[in-house]
Chain A
Amino acid sequence: MSGIDLPQGTLDLLILKTLNLERQHGWGISERIRQVSREVLQVRQGSLYPALHRLERRGWIRATWGVSDNNRRAKYYELTPAGRRQLEDASASWRQLSAAVQIILDTA
């Protein structure tokens, strides 16, 4: 399995972004990040759950138990309004950061 480890703090952003589309369980989130990034980004599965719980404690996501596509009980996460605001803030600053890094890389 090849791929890039996530830089510090980006996992939260990716989780929020993923949940912005639809409510999802932990497994789904990790699968989706892998697929959408064309297998470039490798989420350490062990670090996903602590991050989810931290986001839940902060009130950005909300957890409910639901039934998964294969008819099993799964814990689904969804974005709260606060989480949506946080996603906007975090994506904006991420774009700024990556653009700045881009400029430096291009000019240097």
Chain B
Amino acid sequence: MLVRDLLYRWRALFQRKAMEDDLDAELRFHLDRLAEQHVRAGRPPDEARRLSEVALGGVPEVKEQCRESWGVSWADALIRDFWHALVRMRRYPRSAAVVGSSLALGIGMSVAMFSMVDAVLLRPLPFPDQDSIYVIQKADPLAGTHVEELAYPELIDLQESIPGFEYVAVTPTSLYGYARVLETRTADPVQLEASPVSHDFFRVLGVTPRMGREFTDSDERVGAPPVVVISDRTWREHLGADPGIIGRTVRLSGQGHTVIGVMAPGEGFPRGAALWVPLGIDQRVIERRGATFLQAVARAKPGYSRQQIDSDVSALFRRLASEYPEAYSSSQLAIVTPLVNYWTGSARIHLWIVLGASLLLLTAAAISSGGLLLSRAVSRRSEIATHLALGAPPRRIFTQMAAEGAVAGGIAAIAGLGIAYLVIRSLVRWPPAEIPRLSEASLDLNSFCFAAGAAAFVAVVCSLAPGWGASGMRLESAIREGDPRSSVSLRASRARDLFVLAQSAVTFVLVATAVLLVLSYRSVAFVETGFANRDALTMDVTLRGPGLFPAQGFDASTRHAFYSRLLQRLREEPGVTSVGAILLRPLAGPIGWDISYEFEFEAGSWDGGARPKANYEVVTTDYFKTVGSPLLQGRDFDSRDSEEAEPVAIISETLADQVRSAGHTPLGHRVRLGIRWSAGWMRVVGVSGDARYRSGTHSGAHIFVPMLQAAQATRHVVIRGPRPRQELSTLVQRVVKEIDPRQNAGDPLTIGELIDRDTARHRFNVILLLWFGACAVILAVTAVYSVIAETMAARRTEVAIKSALGAPRSRVVRDLVVRTVRFAVLGLAAGTAAVTAFGTLRLDVFRGTSARDPIVLASVAAILFVVSLAAAIWPAWHATRDNRRILLREG
């Protein structure tokens, strides 16, 4: 029956014409029969027809009652209301445009931001039961390091002493330097990021290859035949999606590897890995506790909580520190991070902030649109009051307003989805910063639901207040327009005051947040990084040979010969000003070589305690000159610093200060490195300016040793010259190939780009927030302006009389604006309270400033106050100019 009922109503709604025709014919038949009766009774046909219509009870009335029986009268009313709403929009095209575009902007921005947050943060990773996967690292606060790495033996420790883990695996902390050169017969060799992993790695992640198998412990033995698991992307892009790839041999950095598996798409962990190789195939890696370059990933058994893991792993690390005091610092701590948080890192807070800001913008847009619709309701007050006086229930007025809000919300949602689509497309096309999974952002079902929710929210805000205000309008007050107190219903004016307050509060929060972010960004981005030559180009020229570690296949003299020749050749090229090489280029990431050091004056004083650590770099002659890092004292490395000569080092200013404060001269002082001080003493020959090597926010101490005296290979070329960067990078690639055709130079980035990349997320945040803040200010100005303009329109007679009676113009204006401005100020106060409360969260993104900084808050409040005041005074001043004429016209 329900189905039939619905079908009937459906027909009544959508086949209205046929229903009406039927009804017409049916009643016509009845009337004809009635009329026939009357004619038979001797009445003339005209009267017969009239009598029969009377007997039926009025054709229009009967028809209306029948329509009610169809069960769609509510829909009829709704359609009528919507139609009227559209008609009114056409009648006031300017305010419709303002409402439509501000709402569309608000919805569009928030939908775009939501889609981004959804793709990056909310959508689960491609790993089943992702919440039980953890990344385990170490930190050593006393040594001043943020991340300490693990060594392979600790994998065994974790597996054996923590039964709560189902699987544990280790992998290097960064992809840095494990790339392999894939030689295909068809194309040029390509450099692919590779991640060495211990054999349970994929079991920890809970994924299985789409083809082939994952690693087993027999793949991870010293001397095991080399095998590789490749990513879906590698398989498609470089191996022609060969379905018979499993079991084939591919050449990676000159060594044949059997392909044993192909992973499913999207399962690139660590992010960017194009292939995975077994880790524990090197005797030194397996045995040495000092070979720290790893992090652990572990899958917890069900019910094993994060707190439990935290305390168990910390206990384990403490025990290891006491068992192996020569290997571990006693102050080392466990850092256990859920994989999801690890994955998104600092992008998390940035994304939440932009989503929050876009929602505030949406709120501001809804409030200002609601205010505009309310103003329009007020301008229609005589019409509405007449309706009410004639007995229209307030509910009807309310639904009319609701229809208007819903139409505005609906149109804005459609336009907003268009805006969101464009914003998402451009964010994916030109990613503002390195944000994992950003490329997956799209307008999907979630986004549509979010847009619908936003539209509903907008519709409610836009219809509640005008409806509430309008349904309280009374005829008397509407008629007595001259009376200022009754010219607008009390409710309507109260609603308007609240709108001004809320709008001003929201605007304050947005602008203050934007200003705080700018200040914080300024303190991060314009920090003295210590690299003056932003145009210096850096390139990855890691020597790659067979074996786990890329440079393993090369002895020191081969490496040195290669690099010396490379630098020599480049130096001789025209258009190259200077060229050098370094182990890890600046700002490449938070992970680097942290190494303990000890100056001569403090030798032995660290026994048993935590030793401070410094960033360790291997550089060549001219490196400092190329990147523009000043040498404050002493000299650069040069040809004197050969393998046989006395070991030397250059230290950064921070370290030099330590030496100075101990009463020694840095130049000529000696320093040694490493846990067992095996490297021996090195003479300090230079002091370099402080520079930021890990990230713009972390200053640190640095120790540089010359390439020829270091056990580690340089991996990056830095080059500078008047030639365009493209030419420089082609040049380096060409020369590298000429010296050794199996090698490859990749990943060209200038120092400037490295600095920008380091702060890109922050900058992205700042730019968006500034935009949102600017939009909010415009909305607030429009809102205040329209309230005053509306008041002016309603009170122009009163104003004209006042002026005519000799009231000074300034006083008339003051009377008009004081109320609105007072509520704007209250809103600013509310906003200040909100931001101050928010400030207690002490978010890292506000580094270098404080959300409770009174100067910042006061300045923002003052500026917004001036802007609101101007927006209020302008229309009032403008309108009081021609009072006499107004009065005459009105008169």
Q: Which residues of A contact B (CB under 8 A)?
A: 25-27, 30, 44-47, 49-51, 53-54, 56-59, 68, 72-75, 82
B26 near A44: Cβ-Cβ < 8 Å: no
CB of B9 within 8 A of chain A?
yes
CB of B269, distance to nearest CB on chain A (Å) = 60
B57 near A46: Cβ-Cβ < 8 Å: yes
Name 15 A/B residue pairs within 8 A (Cβ), A-sorted: A25-B26, A25-B29, A27-B29, A45-B57, A46-B56, A46-B61, A46-B62, A50-B69, A53-B69, A54-B69, A57-B8, A57-B71, A59-B4, A72-B29, A82-B1
Nearest opposing residue in chain A for B57, CB measure:
A46
A75 near B26: Cβ-Cβ < 8 Å: yes
A47 to B22, CA, bound (A): 17
CB of B75, distance to nearest CB on chain A (Å) = 14
A49 to B57, CA, bound (A): 11
B57 near A59: Cβ-Cβ < 8 Å: no
CB of A108, distance to nearest CB on chain B (Å) = 37
A54 to B32, CA, bound (A): 23
Residues of B17-60 whose CB lies within 8 A of A: 22-23, 25-27, 29-30, 32-34, 55-58
Q: Which residues of the other chain, A, contact B33 by a CB distance below 8 angstroms? A: 27
CB of B5 within 8 A of chain A?
yes
A59 near B26: Cβ-Cβ < 8 Å: no
A59 to B3, CA, bound (A): 9
A76 to B399, CA, bound (A): 39
A26 near B26: Cβ-Cβ < 8 Å: yes
Complex partner residue of A59 from B1, B27, B62, B65, CB under 8 angstroms: B1
Q: Which residues of the other chain, A, contact B61 by a CB distance below 8 angstroms? A: 46
Q: Which residues of the other chain, B, contact A57 by a CB distance below 8 angstroms? A: 4-5, 8-9, 69-71
Once A53-B70, A58-B5, A82-B1 are accepted as A-B contacts, the answer to whether A45 and B56 lie under 8 Å apart by CB is: yes
Q: Which residues of the other chain, A, contact B23 by a CB distance below 8 angstroms? A: 49
A45 near B70: Cβ-Cβ < 8 Å: no
A46 near B69: Cβ-Cβ < 8 Å: no
Q: Which residues of the other chain, B, contact A26 by a CB distance below 8 angstroms? A: 26, 29-30
A53 near B66: Cβ-Cβ < 8 Å: yes
Once A58-B1, A68-B29 are accepted as A-B contacts, the answer to whether A50 and B68 lie under 8 Å apart by CB is: yes
A49 near B5: Cβ-Cβ < 8 Å: no
Once A27-B30, A59-B4 are accepted as A-B contacts, the answer to whether A73 and B25 lie under 8 Å apart by CB is: yes
Once A51-B69, A75-B25 are accepted as A-B contacts, the answer to whether A44 and B57 lie under 8 Å apart by CB is: yes
Residues of B52-101 whose CB lies within 8 A of A: 55-58, 61-62, 65-66, 68-71
A51 to B13, CA, bound (A): 19
Q: Which residues of the other chain, A, contact B5 by a CB distance below 8 angstroms? A: 57-59
A54 to B5, CA, bound (A): 10
Q: Which residues of the other chain, B, contact A49 by a CB distance below 8 angstroms? A: 23, 26-27, 30, 62, 65-66
Nearest opposing residue in chain B for A26, CB measure:
B30
CB of A52, distance to nearest CB on chain B (Å) = 8
A84 to B735, CA, bound (A): 97
Q: Which residues of the other chain, B, contact A27 by a CB distance below 8 angstroms? A: 29-30, 33-34
Q: Which residues of the other chain, B, contact A45 by a CB distance below 8 angstroms? A: 30, 34, 55-57
A41 to B161, CA, bound (A): 95
Q: Which residues of the other chain, B, contact A73 by a CB distance below 8 angstroms? A: 25, 29
CB of A47, distance to nearest CB on chain B (Å) = 7
Q: Which residues of the other chain, B, contact A25 by a CB distance below 8 angstroms? A: 26, 29
B1, B26, B29: residue with the most chain A Cβ atoms closer than 10 Å: B26
CB of B111, distance to nearest CB on chain A (Å) = 40
A26, A30, A51, A53: residue with the most chain B Cβ atoms closer than 10 Å: A53
Nearest opposing residue in chain A for B22, CB measure:
A75
CB of B66, distance to nearest CB on chain A (Å) = 5
Q: Which residues of the other chain, B, contact A72 by a CB distance below 8 angstroms? A: 29, 32
A57 to B1, CA, bound (A): 9
CB of A104, distance to nearest CB on chain B (Å) = 34
A50, A68, A73: residue with the most chain B Cβ atoms closer than 10 Å: A50
A53 to B27, CA, bound (A): 12
A58 to B33, CA, bound (A): 28
Q: Which residues of the other chain, B, contact A54 by a CB distance below 8 angstroms? A: 69
CB of B438, distance to nearest CB on chain A (Å) = 53
Once A25-B29, A27-B30, A75-B29 are accepted as A-B contacts, the answer to whether A46 and B70 lie under 8 Å apart by CB is: no
Nearest opposing residue in chain A for B37, CB measure:
A31
A50 near B25: Cβ-Cβ < 8 Å: no
Q: Which residues of the other chain, A, contact B71 by a CB distance below 8 angstroms? A: 57
A68 to B36, CA, bound (A): 14
CB of A92, distance to nearest CB on chain B (Å) = 20
CB of A95, distance to nearest CB on chain B (Å) = 24
A25 to B749, CA, bound (A): 88
Nearest opposing residue in chain B for A49, CB measure:
B66
Nearest opposing residue in chain A for B55, CB measure:
A45
CB of B38, distance to nearest CB on chain A (Å) = 13
CB of B169, distance to nearest CB on chain A (Å) = 66
Q: Sorted from nearest, which 9 A-B pairs have the closest CB atoms?
A: A46-B57, A53-B69, A50-B65, A59-B4, A54-B69, A57-B8, A50-B69, A46-B62, A27-B33
Q: Which residues of the other chain, B, contact A51 by a CB distance below 8 angstroms? A: 69
A74 to B32, CA, bound (A): 11
Q: Which residues of the other chain, B, contact A56 by a CB distance below 8 angstroms? A: 8
Q: Which residues of the other chain, B, contact A47 by a CB distance below 8 angstroms? A: 57, 65
CB of B869, distance to nearest CB on chain A (Å) = 61
CB of A50, distance to nearest CB on chain B (Å) = 4
Further contacts, 8 of them, CB under 8 A, given A27-B29, A54-B69:
A25-B29, A26-B26, A45-B57, A46-B56, A49-B26, A50-B69, A59-B5, A73-B29
Nearest opposing residue in chain A for B19, CB measure:
A53
A49 to B68, CA, bound (A): 11
A77 to B57, CA, bound (A): 22
Q: Which residues of the other chain, A, contact B55 by a CB distance below 8 angstroms? A: 45
Q: Which residues of the other chain, B, contact A46 by a CB distance below 8 angstroms? A: 56-58, 61-62, 65
A30 to B1, CA, bound (A): 26
A26 to B27, CA, bound (A): 9
Q: Which residues of the other chain, A, contact B8 by a CB distance below 8 angstroms? A: 56-57, 59
Q: Which residues of the other chain, B, contact A59 by a CB distance below 8 angstroms? A: 1, 4-5, 8
CB of A99, distance to nearest CB on chain B (Å) = 29
Nearest opposing residue in chain B for A25, CB measure:
B29
B62 near A50: Cβ-Cβ < 8 Å: yes
Nearest opposing residue in chain B for A62, CB measure:
B4
CB of A40, distance to nearest CB on chain B (Å) = 18
A56 to B55, CA, bound (A): 24
A44 to B23, CA, bound (A): 17
A82 to B3, CA, bound (A): 13
CB of B8, distance to nearest CB on chain A (Å) = 4
Q: Which residues of the other chain, A, contact B25 by a CB distance below 8 angstroms? A: 73, 75
A76 to B58, CA, bound (A): 22
A82 to B5, CA, bound (A): 13
Nearest opposing residue in chain A for B3, CB measure:
A59
Q: Which residues of the other chain, A, contact B65 by a CB distance below 8 angstroms? A: 46-47, 49-50
Convert B656-673 into 0s and 1s, putting 1 for each residue whose CB lies closer than 8 angstroms to a CB of A: 000000000000000000
Q: Which residues of the other chain, A, contact B57 by a CB distance below 8 angstroms? A: 44-47
A27 to B52, CA, bound (A): 12
A59 to B645, CA, bound (A): 105
Q: Which residues of the other chain, A, contact B70 by a CB distance below 8 angstroms? A: 53, 57
Nearest opposing residue in chain B for A1, CB measure:
B55
CB of B698, distance to nearest CB on chain A (Å) = 74
A103 to B61, CA, bound (A): 40
A47 to B58, CA, bound (A): 11
Nearest opposing residue in chain A for B2, CB measure:
A59
CB of A37, distance to nearest CB on chain B (Å) = 18
B4 near A74: Cβ-Cβ < 8 Å: no
Q: Which residues of the other chain, A, contact B22 by a CB distance below 8 angstroms? A: 75
Convert B171-212 into 0s and 1s, putting 1 for each residue whose CB lies closer than 8 angstroms to a CB of A: 000000000000000000000000000000000000000000
A79 to B538, CA, bound (A): 89
Q: Which residues of the other chain, A, contact B29 by a CB distance below 8 angstroms? A: 25-27, 68, 72-75
CB of A2, distance to nearest CB on chain B (Å) = 15
Q: Which residues of the other chain, A, contact B30 by a CB distance below 8 angstroms? A: 26-27, 30, 45, 49
Nearest opposing residue in chain A for B71, CB measure:
A57
Q: Which residues of the other chain, B, contact A75 by a CB distance below 8 angstroms? A: 22, 25-26, 29
